[in-house]
Each structure stands twice: as C-alpha cells, then as structure tokens.
Amino acid sequence: MAAAEAGQAAAERSEQCAAGAAGQPTVAARFATLAGQQAAEEGAGEAAQALQQGAAEEAAAQQAGAAAAAAAQPARLARAAAAPEAAPPATGQPAPSKPRRLKQLFDYLLVLDIEATCDRDKAVQLQPQEIIELSCVIVDTAACTLLPGGWQRYVRPDQHPVLTDFCTQLTGITQSKVDAGVPLKTALNQLDGWLREQGLLGQGRSFSPLIWRDWDLKVMMASECKQVKREWRNIEQPKYLRRWIDLSAVWFKHSSRRGNLRGSVEAAGLAWEGRPHSAIDDARNTARLAVKLMQGGLILGITGSFGNLDASGRFRQGTLLGLATRGASSSGGKSQAEQAAGPTKKRVFDDGGAWNGCCYCGARAKKRTVKRPGPNNGRDFWSCGRFTMTGGASCDFFKFADEVVSPPGAANDGSSRRWRRH
C-alpha cells in the first residue's frame, strides 16, 4: 500500500509540473500520468517512479523547445520587415521600345482596279470604252496587312462585244472570259454583297476605296453610271465609290520617282507579283505599296471625290434638299441657273446673238463629238475649253455644233471669229 500511495503521489506531482510549465498537459505528460497510475495500481512503486521521471524529463524538453521557437518567431518577423525589398534582376539591356504606328483614318482600305476595252491606236479608240474586269482586295489598316483572298468579276461589254487583239495582249483577258462575264450592274450588286459578307458594309466599320490614279472611278466607272450621265445604262454608282484615295498622287508627292504602277512598286523596294494590267494582280500590288507606305508612318486620306460629297463621303449640307427640289447636276449639285448667276460667268453672246467663240469661264470653247451610245451619238458640240477627263469642266457651257452658224474653215479650237445661233 505504501508503494501504491507513493506512485499515485508521484504521478500527481508530475502532472502538475507538466501542466504548470506548458499551461496544459502534453501528450507525454498524460502518458506519464497514466503510466504512474498503472504502476501504482500494480504496486510497482520503484518502476513507476523511474518511468515517471523519464516521462517528465521528455515533457520538459519538448516544452522548452516550443518556448524557444515561439521566442525566435518575432525576431524573424522583425528582421523580414526591416529588410529592403529585393531588386529585380538586372537584364543588362533596356527592353526595346515598339515602333509607334499612327492610327489610320479608316479601318479598312478597299483596293480596286478596273480594266476596260482599248485599242493600240488612240485615234481610232473604241468609244465608248467599257469595263471588262472589276477586282478588289482589302487591307486591314490596324494590322497593316493585306487580307487573303479577294474579289474578281469579268464584265461583258455590249457596245463593242468583241475585244481587240491589243486589249487581249495587254490585259490577258480573252474573248471567252468576257463572253461568260456578267453585266456591269450585276457585277456591282455582287460587289455590294461581297462587302457585306466581309463586314465592310452594315457593320459600322469605316473604309475607303483606294485606286492607282483617278481614272478608274472618276472617269471609267463614272462614264457608265449615273454620276455623269443619266441615260444609257441607268446604273447608280455606289455611294462608297464616290470618294477615293489616289495612291499615285500620294506616291508622287512623297517620292521623286515617276512612272507607272509597276515602276512605283519596284521603286519602293517591292518585287512585282503577277501580270501587269490584270485587275486582280494590279489591285494586290497597289495594296502592297499602300501597306509599305503605312508601315513608314504615312497616313492615307481622301484625295478625290465627286462634287456633291465631302471628304468623308457624306453628302454636303443642303445637297439632299437641292437634289429633291431641282435635281442633281454634274457640278456639285448646283443648277445651271445658279452657275450662270456666279461672278465668273462671262458674256459670250452679243445682243444680236453672235457668239464670240468662248465658254462661260472665258476660255476658247472646244469642239468635241458625242461618243456615248444614244440618240446624239456622233453629234458634234462645243463645250468648256478647260474641260479635262479627271477635273471635269470649269463652266457649264454647251452648244451642239448645229445650234450655231459655223463659217467655212472655222477652227475646232474656237477662234476669234463670230458665229451666229440659228
């Protein structure tokens, strides 16, 4: 009994010591307590005392290690807070800055090219000339990239349906291709549909036609559409084709090199691709030259448009009202009466009806021949002496030759002789 009571007492003292040191009994302390109790119950006092002593020493060692770790933790946190942030690793060279590319005025460029009937001898040129190929590609100005693919249509002429040998040699367009082609009105409708498929129409994206020289849209396309005359084909020229960027004007302004499209492409350091005077190949090479100029930092803007449109392609203020009240004219929507009232209109007929041979802008009138199909085909007329194919007329003077008395030997350049009106 004495040994059992001694073991119980030792167990209680060990448990109190361990709890006081750690604040709560550890696993080792509990094990020691249970071992002491078991030894007390079995009456092995000496064995229980030895076991209790070893367990107490182990518990004390564990408690001391935990206390030391807890005491060291604030020091480590303090050192980490006081230490400066590590500098980023040195690269040796500064990161190269990306070249700054200026934003273009349009999201896309519709690069077009047109081929028409022609002959080697300009003196016997077929009149009227007719479009036989219409092709285009698209340039993404943000990515400064020519998009893959394109659009091409062969157009069937109806005034001179048989191509000349010179035309086939120049353009590579055979008779069978135009025979299988579509009318111009159909081709323009198909172009409109393709642009909608590409997202250029009806999606709120801005784009502008881009051509090499004004002739394609201002002369050739306009000659077959309502923009110039309302008879003949009765085709409405699409509004998005009534303004354009003439890349040749841009190139000649920024380069001392003069020449045709191929010469300009090669002068820019690009290799020509495809066949010259093939509309689709010419369009692609024109697009490649435009991309080259944009990559060099050039911003492409509108260079030409018809008179009733501003540089953005919108109708000018008041033009729509004028079209509704008096009809459009080829001189910016102004009527002949408004032009006649202008300060630059000269007096060309005297009180007796004699004509002085000049047009309303003061230049000598020139005699020309109607070449457009219609009732007046082949009829001679006098018109503005300053008329050009790309710039139009400076005044609206027009008289058929059979409306004035032309003396024998009268010169076609509008000499100083006077002719009387019938």
Is residue 365 within 8 A of residue 398, CB to CB? The reply is no
So what's the pLDDT on residue 103? Answer: 83
Average pLDDT along the chain: 73
Q: What Rg do the C-alpha atoms of the chain give, in angstroms?
A: 47
Region of residue 374 (phi > 0: left; psi between -120 and 50: alpha; otherwise: beta):
left
- Integer angstrom CA distances of residue 264 from 34, 209, 218: 103, 19, 22
The torsion angle over the Cα atoms of residues 337, 342, 345 and 349, rounded to 10 degrees, is: 40
| Long-range CB contacts for residues 392-395, cutoff 8 Å, separation at least 24 | 392/330, 392/331, 393/330, 393/331, 394/359, 394/361, 394/363, 395/339, 395/344, 395/345, 395/359, 395/360, 395/361
pLDDT value at 417 more than 50: no
Q: Give the number of other Cβ atoms within 10 Å of residue 77's Cβ.
A: 10
pLDDT value at 335 more than 50: no
The DSSP code sequence of 137-181 is EEEETTTTEEPS--EEEEB--SSS-SPPHHHHHHH---HHHHHT-
Confidence of residue 59 (pLDDT cuts 50, 70, 90): low
Q: Which of 93-107, 195-209, 212-226 has the lowest mean pLDDT?
A: 93-107
Task: Give 67-105 pLDDT, tens digit per residue.
Answer: 554 454 444 434 444 444 444 445 555 555 555 556 899
Task: Give 138-150 pLDDT, tens digit per residue.
Answer: 999 999 999 999 9
Residue 137, burial from CB neighbour count under 10 angstroms (0-12, 13-18, 19+): buried
Q: Which of 211-220, 237-246, 391-400 has the lowest mean pLDDT?
A: 391-400
Average pLDDT on 129-133 reads 94
Q: Which of 79-83, 117-121, 157-161, 382-386 has the lowest mean pLDDT?
A: 79-83
Average pLDDT on 153-178 reads 94
Percent of the chain with pLDDT over 90: 34
Active site residues: 115, 277
